[in-house]
A and B are shown apart, each in its own frame.
Chain A
Amino acid sequence: MPEAPTPAADPDPGPAVRTAGLTRRFGDVLAVDGVDLTVDRGAVFGLLGPDGAGKSTLIRMLATVLLPDQGEAIVLGRSTRHQADEITGRIGYMSQRFSMYPDLTVAENLEFFATVRGVPRALRRERADRLLDGMGLAEFRARQARHLSGGMKQKLMLAATLMHEPELLLLDEPTTGVDPVSRREFWRVLADLHRARTTVVVATPYMDEAERCTAIAFLDGGRIRHQGTPEQIAALIPGVLVEIAGADPHAIRAALSGLADAGSPHVLGDAVRVVWSGPASQAEGQLRGHLAAAGLVVTEIRPITPDMETAFAVLAEAGR
Chain B
Amino acid sequence: MTALTRIGAVVRKEFIHVGRDPRLLAVVLVMPVLQLLLFAYAISFDVRNLPTLVVDLDRTPDSAAYLRAYEASGLFHVVGRADSIAAVDSAFDRNEAQVVVVVPAGFARALTGNEAAEVGVFVDGSEPNAARIAQTYSAALNQLYGRKLAVAWASNQGLDLGQSGAVEPRLRTWYNPERSSSIFLIPGLMVVVIMIVTAQQTAVTLVRERDQGTAEQLLVSPLRRVELMIGKLTPWIIMAFVDLVVIAIVGLTLFHIPLRGDLLVLALGATLFVASCLGIGLIVSAVAPSLDTANMTAFLVAFLPAFLFSGFAFALDQIPPVLDWLSHAFPARYMVTISRGVFLKGSGWAEVWPELAALAAYALVTLAISVRLHGRRS
Contacts and interface: CB of A to CB of B under 8 A. Distances in A.
A99 B216 contact: yes
Given A115-B5, A118-B6, 6 more contacts: A65-B216, A65-B220, A85-B222, A103-B16, A115-B8, A116-B9
A217 B354 CA distance: 64
B212 A113 contact: no
A118 B6 CA distance: 7
Nearest to A164: B221
Interface stretch (A86-94, A182-190, A278-286, A298-306): A86-94
Label chain B's interface by main secondary structure: helix
5 contacts: A92-B220, A93-B217, A99-B217, A103-B16, A116-B10
Given A103-B16, A104-B13, A118-B2, A113 B217 contact: yes
A23 to B, nearest CB: 15
Interface string B1-42: 010011011101100110011000000000000000000000
Nearest to B20: A103
Contacts of A115: 5-6, 8-9
A199 to B, nearest CB: 15
Interface string A77-113: 0000000110011011101011111111000100111
Contacts of B217: 93, 95, 99-100, 113, 160
Contacts of A142: none
B142 interface: no
Nearest to B224: A85
A116 B232 CA distance: 13
Given A64-B377, A112-B13, A88 B213 contact: no
Contact of B221 (A67, A98, A113): A113
Contacts of B10: 116
Ordered nearest first, which 6 A-B pairs have the shortest CB separation?
A: A99-B213, A115-B9, A93-B220, A103-B20, A89-B222, A116-B223
Interface size bracket, B side? 20 to 34
A91 B220 contact: yes
Contacts of B6: 115-116, 118
A160 B105 CA distance: 92
Interface residues of A, number: 32
Interface of B: 2, 5-6, 8-10, 12-13, 16-17, 20-21, 212-214, 216-223, 377-378
Nearest to B222: A89
Nearest to B209: A101
Given A66-B378, A104-B16, A112 B212 contact: no
Contacts of A144: 20
Contacts of B12: 112
Contacts of B378: 65-67
A93 B213 CA distance: 12
A95 B213 contact: yes
B21 A103 contact: yes
Contacts of A171: none
B377 A67 contact: yes
Given A98-B213, A104-B13, A66 B2 contact: no
Given A67-B377, A84-B377, A108-B16, A116 B213 contact: no
Contacts of A112: 9, 12-13
A63 interface: yes
B219 A65 contact: yes
A103 B17 contact: yes
Q: For B6, B219, B378, which residue has the most chain A Cβ atoms within 10 angstroms?
A: B219
Given A65-B377, A66-B377, A88 B221 contact: yes
A101 B13 contact: yes
Nearest to A99: B213
Contacts of A99: 212-214, 216-217
A100 B214 contact: yes
Nearest to A91: B220
Nearest to A111: B9
A147 interface: no
